[in-house]
Amino acid sequence: MLTPVGHVLWTAVLGAAIFGASRTGTRYRLTLGVLGAFVGVAVLHGLWDSMGGIASFVAVVVTGNAIPALQYGFLRPGTAAEVSTLASTFYAVGLIVISLIGLVLLWLMVRRHPWFEEPHAVPALASEEGGLGSR
> DSSP string spanning 57-91?
HHHHHHTT-HHHHHHHSSPPTT-HHHHHHHHHHHH
* Residue 127 β-bridge partners: 131
Neighbours of 84 (CB within 10 A): 13
Of 24 and 102, the one with more pLDDT: 102
Alpha-carbon separation of residue 56 from 18, 80, 112, 113 (angstroms): 36, 11, 38, 39
pLDDT digits (tens, 9 = 90+) for 87-118: 999 999 999 999 999 889 888 887 776 655 55
State the pLDDT at residue 125: 55
> DSSP string spanning 80-129?
HHHHHHHHHHHHHHHHHHHHHHHHHHHHHHHHHSHHHHSPPPPPPSEETT
Under the banding of pLDDT at 50, 70 and 90, the label for residue 61 is: confident
Under the banding of pLDDT at 50, 70 and 90, the label for residue 135 is: very low
Quick one: CA torsion of 33, 12, 103, 109, rounded to 10 degrees?
Answer: 30
How far does CA 79 lie from the centroid of its chain? 34
Under the banding of pLDDT at 50, 70 and 90, the label for residue 129 is: low
State the pLDDT at residue 94: 94
